[in-house]
Amino acid sequence: MRSLSFLRTLIISSVLLIMVLSVTFGAILLHGSAAKAASPSIVPHAIKVTPKVENAGVADHTGTFPCQDPTYTIHCYGPKQIRAAYSIQPLLDKGLNGSGRTIVIIDAFQSPTAQQDLDTFSKTFGLNSTKLNIIAPDGLTPFNPNDPNQVGWAEEISLDVQWSHAVAPKATIDLVLAKSNQDVDILSVTKYAVDHNLGDVISQSFGENESCVDPTLLTQEHSVFQEATQKHITLLASSGDEGAAQQTCNGLSWTLAVSSPASDPLVTGVGGTQLFANQKTGKYISENAWNEPQFEAASGGGYSVLYKRPNYQNGTVRGNRRGVPDVAYNAAIDGGVLVAVSFIPPGAEGGPFQIFGGTSAGSPQWAGLVVIANQLAGKRLGFLNPAIYNIGRSSSYSAAFHDILFGNNTIQLPDASNKIVTIIGFSAKKGWDPVTGWGSPIASNLVHLLRKYN
């Protein structure tokens, strides 16, 4: 998701109608209505991604990158280290690798080298090769390498595809592309993926200030999410990279807010941590809440103003609002993941591998864990939040999650006039918190518990 910029000049009006969600999920949408919309048409709005990318250097003859040396300025991890740190490798060793399951990734525009870069990534790190299914229901927009907006989305595609594959190397990957980054176009292809029941899990590494989403679109989106839930499709979304802040609806400043679609109660929101692991072996050392002031980036999280607290958060989340995120994953830039991006012109950022950070690294990797859990269960586990919160409140919590105890998502960001705006956020603490949720996964135990509690 990383550094989302929302170009909207119209502030949406409040609506008074209340849409009651199903009793099962116990949530109420306060702005937006199933019966009437605020306006007869959807106001166009674009979601722009500008990923956090740093130079990884060039690998030596052993395949080791300079950023994998502890003395390098910026640190990074490859699949081996991430699999070890989050206890994914024991599952892979037992043949739990996503075989027979499908991950759906929603993105916009395209990457002209998506398959080529996935092949490079797989070969470099000794992963099996896989054919990427590219689906563009509304047409594929020609790639313009001179458009920073399209380049940002192409980088996002590279991250999403390669790292879902790193976690679940035998899973099928359906990359479903919107013709633009207008949120109405993104919703259109999301609906296509759900209507056609394309896969087990849908990963959404993007978002926007929930209060800036057109109420009509928000209602339509929630309807799509309800359909997905009925089909036992798991929904994931990144919680954002500007800490407790989101851009104001006119795009000129920042305000305390959470990101949609992560705030929807039917979605599992994925926040960010900074992982500290052995640079070579990946042995887990510790994690903090992700907050890197030098990059003006931190884990998105807080409390929704649109949704009431769903039933599964009762007894966990204080107050009566939906808390975000639900879980977390490594999102740091200093300690980011290696991604192949050959569409970047030579010399532009050091190519062909770069270090990527942001909560969008977490959503596709959690998608990999979901299909592994589904493979283990022999069925789709579907909506995960009730099970996640039951695990969090159980004696099995410490076996399933790394509880993140330190850090916060307070952030300082420049507004349109370069004035620094400070948004006071929240602190990580024991158990669930609105920065890292329940924490990051201990996958070898978590997948078994998800089956047990689902």
> How far, in Å, CA of 442 to CA of 402, rounded?
7
The low-confidence residues of the chain, meaning pLDDT below 70, are: 1-44, 48, 50-51, 345-351
Q: Token pair of 411, please?
A: 């952030």
Please report which helix (H) or strand (E) contains residue 234, including its range: strand 234-238
Domains of the chain: 5-453 (3.40.50.200)
Q: Are 45 and 212 a contacting pair, CB within 8 Å? A: yes
Q: Which residues pair with 135 in a beta bridge?
A: 176
Find, among 122, 194, 112, 120, the residue nearest to 153 by Cα: 112
Helices 183-195 & 215-230 angle (0-180, nearest 10): 20
Q: What is the pLDDT of residue 64?
A: 87
Place of tokens 């999650």: 401
Burial class (CB in 10 A: 0-12, 13-18, 19+), 160: buried
pLDDT the model gives residue 40: 42
**222, 231, 236, 229: which is closest to 196 by C-alpha?**
231
What are the tens digits of pLDDT across the range 171-226? 999 999 999 999 999 999 999 999 999 999 999 999 999 999 999 999 999 999 99
Q: Helix, strand or coil for residue 54?
A: strand
pLDDT of residue 25: 39
pTM for this prediction? 0.91
Q: What is the Cα Rg of the chain in Å?
A: 20
pLDDT at site 59: 84
Helices (H), 200-343: 215-230
Query: Both tokens of residue 363?
Result: 């959503």
In contact, 258 and 302? CB cutoff 8 Å: yes
Token digits for 365? Answer: 């990797």
Helix H or strand E encompassing 368: helix 362-377
Q: Residue 397: what pLDDT?
A: 98
Closest to 442 in 3D by CA, of 268, 284, 276: 284
CB 97 within 8 A of CB 91: yes
pLDDT in tens, 297-326: 999 999 999 999 999 999 999 999 999 999
Residues 6+ apart with CB under 8 A from 453: 386, 387, 390, 391, 394
